[in-house]
Copies of this chain bind each other. A is one copy, B any other.
Amino acid sequence: MREQKKQATREALRAAALRLALERGPDNVRVDDIAEAAGVSPRTYNNYFSSREQAIVAAVTSEREARVAAAVAARPGGVGLADAVVEAIVDQYTASDAPGQDALLLITTRPALRDAFIDTTTAIEHPLTEAIAERLGDGDPSIARVLAASVAAAVRVALEQWLQTAFSSSTASGLVVPSGSLPDFLRATLAPLRPALDAAEQRALRHRQR
C-alpha cells in the first residue's frame, strides 16, 4: 500500500501538471503550483519528476513503455520478430493519440515540451530489450539491447519527422495535427531495421537448434 500511495501522488502530479498547463499555458505554470495542486511539497515534486516538462509529457505517454513491451510479448511466436515489434509499436503509438488531442497540440507548440516528448522514446528501451531478449532466447543479451536501442532511435526519428510536418502544416493550414500519418512514419523508419531483426532471429534459431 506504500506503492499505491506513491503511484497515486504520481498520478495526481501528472494530472495537475496537464490541467494547469492547458488552463494557463505551459509558461505560466510554476512547479510550486503543480505541487500545491497535487497537495505535496515542491521538493516532493522533484522526487517524482526531474524536470517540469516531464510531468506534463508523462500525462500523455504514461506507461507506454510497459504497453509496448507487453504488446511485443503478446504476439504469437510464429509472427516473426520484425512484424511483432513494428506492429506492437504502431499499435501503441496510434492508440494513445486519441485521449489527449489537445495535450498533443500543446506539446507540439512549445519546443521544451517537444523535446521532452521525444526523449520519452528512450524509456521504451529497457522493457523492449527484455521483450526482444525473451523472443531471441538467451543468446548474447547485448544483441537484444542494441536492437531495442535502435528501434527506440527509429521511433524517435519518426516522431521528429512527424512533429516537424505537424508544425509546418499547422502554419500553412489551420491548427491540425496530422495524426493519421504517424503510423506511416513509424513503419517507414522501422523498415530499415527489419533486416537486422530478421538476422538476429535466424541467428537465434540456428543457435537454438544446436
Contacts and interface: CB of A to CB of B under 8 A. Distances in A.
Interface of A: 140, 142-143, 145-147, 149-150, 152-154, 156-157, 161, 188-190, 192-196, 198-200
Contacts of A161: 142
10 contacts: A143-B192, A146-B154, A147-B192, A149-B156, A149-B157, A152-B153, A192-B200, A194-B199, A195-B199, A196-B196
Given A157-B142, A161-B142, A196 B200 contact: no
Contacts of A142: 157, 161, 188-189
A78 to B, nearest CB: 21
Given A195-B199, A196-B192, A199-B192, A154 B149 contact: yes
Contacts of A145: 157, 189
Given A192-B199, A193-B196, A194-B196, 18 more contacts: A140-B188, A142-B157, A142-B189, A143-B192, A145-B157, A145-B189, A146-B189, A146-B190, A149-B150, A149-B154, A149-B156, A150-B150, A150-B153, A150-B154, A150-B193, A152-B153, A195-B195, A195-B196
Contacts of A196: 150, 192-196
A202 to B, nearest CB: 10
A146 B193 contact: yes
Contacts of A150: 149-150, 153-154, 193, 196
Contacts of A152: 153
A159 B149 CA distance: 13
A156 B156 CA distance: 15
A142 to B, nearest CB: 6
Contacts of A140: 188
Contact of A149 (B146, B153, B195, B199): B153
A164 B190 CA distance: 29
Residue with the greatest number of chain B CB neighbours at <10 A, chosen from A147, A149, A190, A198: A149
A180 to B, nearest CB: 18
